[in-house]
Structure 1
Amino acid sequence: MMSSALHLLSFVVIGASLGFMGGVFGIGGGIIAVPLLVLGFGLDQPLAQGTALVLMAPNLLVGWWRYHQRHPVSGRAIVAIAVSASATTWGIAHIAARMDPTVLRWLFSAFMVLLAARLVHTARRQAPPAERPLNVRVLPLVGMVGGCSMGLLGIGGGLLAGPLLSGWMGQRQTTAQGLSLALVAPSSVVALATYAQAQRVDWQLGLPMALGGVLTVSAGVALAHRLPEKPMRTAFAAMLVGTAAWLIVGPMWMA
Structure 2
Amino acid sequence: MSTWYVVWPGMLLLGAALGFCGGLLGIGGGILAIPVLALWFGMDQSVAQGTALVMIAPNVVIAFWRYSQHHPIALKLAASLGLISILVSYPAARLAVSLDNATLRWIFIGFLLWLIAYLSWQLYARRAGDAPPRILPARWLPLVAVVAGAFSGLFTVGGGTVSSPMLVRLFGYRQAAAQGLALCMIVPSSLVAMATYTHAGVVNWWLGFPMAIGGLTTISHGVALAQKLPDRKLRGIFVLFLIVTVALMLPK
TM-score (norm 1): 0.84
Q: 2: CA distance between counterparts of 1:166 and 1:227?
A: 16
Residues 117-196 of structure 1 mapped to structure 2, 5 A cutoff: 117-124=117-124, 125=126, 129=133, 134-135=138-139, 138-171=140-173, 176-196=178-198
Residues 8-87 of structure 1 mapped to structure 2, 5 A cutoff: 8-87=8-87
Q: Deviations over 1:220-241 (max 9, x none)?
A: 3344566677577557635633
Contact map agreement 1:82 1:143 (CA 8 A) in 2: yes
Q: Deviations over 1:60-106 (max 9, x none)?
A: 11121222233222222222211111110011101101210000000
Q: Deviations over 1:5-29 (max 9, x none)?
A: 1211111111112112323444331
Q: Deviations over 1:200-250 (max 9, x none)?
A: 110000000000011112223344566677577557635633542552322
Q: 1: CA distance between counterparts of 2:182 and 2:174?
A: 12
- Letter of the structure 2 residue corresponding to residue 207 of structure 1: F
- Letter of the structure 1 residue corresponding to residue 250 of structure 2: I
Aligned residues: 248
Closer/same/farther in 2, CA of residues 246 and 132 from structure 1, 3 Å limit:
closer
TM-score (norm 2): 0.85
The Cα of 1:41 is off from its aligned counterpart by 0.9
Of all paired residues, the percent bearing the same amino acid is 43
1:218 aligns with 2:225: no
The Cα of 1:133 is off from its aligned counterpart by 5.3
The Cα of 1:36 is off from its aligned counterpart by 0.3
- Letter of the structure 1 residue corresponding to residue 4 of structure 2: S
Closer/same/farther in 2, CA of residues 143 and 225 from structure 1, 3 Å limit:
closer
Contact map agreement 1:77 1:139 (CA 8 A) in 2: no
Contact map agreement 2:66 2:223 (CA 8 A) in 1: no
- Letter of the structure 2 residue corresponding to residue 34 of structure 1: I
Which stretch has the larger CA shift, 20-29 or 207-216?
A: 20-29
The aligned counterpart of 1:113 is 113
- Letter of the structure 1 residue corresponding to residue 196 of structure 2: T
Closer/same/farther in 2, CA of residues 222 and 201 from structure 1, 3 Å limit:
same
Q: 2: CA distance between counterparts of 1:182 and 1:25?
A: 14
Other structure's SS at 2:193 match: helix
Which stretch has the larger CA shift, 110-119 or 218-227?
A: 218-227
Q: 2: CA distance between counterparts of 1:120 and 1:204?
A: 37
Q: 1: CA distance between counterparts of 2:12 and 2:95?
A: 30
Closer/same/farther in 2, CA of residues 225 and 140 from structure 1, 3 Å limit:
closer
Structure 2 unmatched ranges of 5 or more? none
- Letter of the structure 2 residue corresponding to residue 5 of structure 1: Y
Contact map agreement 1:110 1:244 (CA 8 A) in 2: no
Closer/same/farther in 2, CA of residues 38 and 218 from structure 1, 3 Å limit:
same
RMSD: 2.8
Q: 2: CA distance between counterparts of 1:236 and 1:71?
A: 20
